[in-house]
Structure 1
């Protein structure tokens, strides 16, 4: 089974076995299968956070569990649930259509609902953990269902328990999100501040913020349907205030965001651009002309070419700034 159509980079790879998972029962059937049960597993959602460098011997579980619903409403929040196979952006749009604001800053992030807590996705000042309630998952060893709350998921920056102890050992089947009441807009991000200044709208609605975020992302990021990519390829590095002051002393223009704990998040795209990588290529893999944080498939690229390019960028940034960039996608 070719995986080229199942990864947003459009990289060539073949899976020996692919199982479409549309329910928890489908997962249990794989666990109980005499051949598949003991085999290694690769969990595949939208394939938007994946770099395939080879054919896959593991059993690929293509998660296609659907469903969206409002599960509960309390005085201080709405709780909504979505199947792990739903497209994340579709669920964000659906919540707004239902009059349930809170996810608008996370609009247009590629991938599925099931991948969102694994990656602890985030954008424009909001992370999934800020809106997370709980999730259901199936253990790939025992076949048992478990429900995990936020503390159990051990969320970190683009990180969670599912990238640590439970990597490849558990399948997320449903995710519940907590949308706080009263709604308070999250506007403390440079691009959104620019939109407020441009439009004169200093009290935007959730729908307006959604539209702004979509416009900003479309202007910066290529559509995977047109040019293969996995979105932001590197995590924004977090450094100490002292390290940041040192870098500012040498590069006053560096884009940085102070964090509540006193550390500082640096814009990885700025670091890459400063090293001259924007628009450059290694083989058929390249750095997107409008956003240095995005690596792209210029046509017929292999996973090996993408990884070679990524490593060259890492070495370049480390050589100039002393910072080691960490890739966001899973490299297989």
Structure 2
């Protein structure tokens, strides 16, 4: 089977809705709500249709398509500037050190402070792969193709980029972090707050969340031990982000306590190493395994393939990749080693 990543369209709504029902909650960027998903797809189509190079408040949605069956089996999203429609809140883990000369004792108190430090950053998110396809490197194709998209449309993205990882969710679909922190102030379950956020945005956090720091020592043990810890299904994603140059710098999600990873956009490995070249041949049989991409905006496509560069700087690719991307000799292809 051959898969490619492409721009999402309104016609993909039902595919995305069926996948959203499989997420198990805590997945704000892929709510199981047709109206919310329709708005996301309409926003994405507006972003794809704007072809200038101005940094704006865009959301691009991509889908993973089986080219043999036409089935959509995964999705991911890119946001060019977070915090433009409403504040982008995070908790920042900080430490307050105090010393008493009389007691000859130093106390270091860890705190969670509500901040909007990451506003204006770009974000890669909304990555979901159908459970039936979690083999063969398709998750890596979804994740890293986003960076090729950024490299190919660099002027549309900010100089800092982030990725939020889903936090720990218990067997009931609840969040120990939410129950121990924000849930005490809102009178809402995690599922209720998460769904409301996905549909309506998080302005209610600004309206109701206490603005004073929360002392971690005052939280129950269940909440403490999940701060900055990714959901078990997100551990591989965290390693992939670290391999790309992202780092956890003390920011955690206000809902489930999952880690927020950040990086300078131009230092992300797959962005820094991505480069364009004209196709010199489409019948390469042996070469370096790579991610390949072509097309601007709505015409973007990406897939796995093999490549070889000639002395003239042109690139030869294999026949399957050429057919999957719909390219021929002379077309431009971006690539990065797999």
TM-score by length of 2: 0.29
Q: Which structure has the greater CA radius of gyration?
A: 2
Specify which structure has the higher proportion of strand: 2
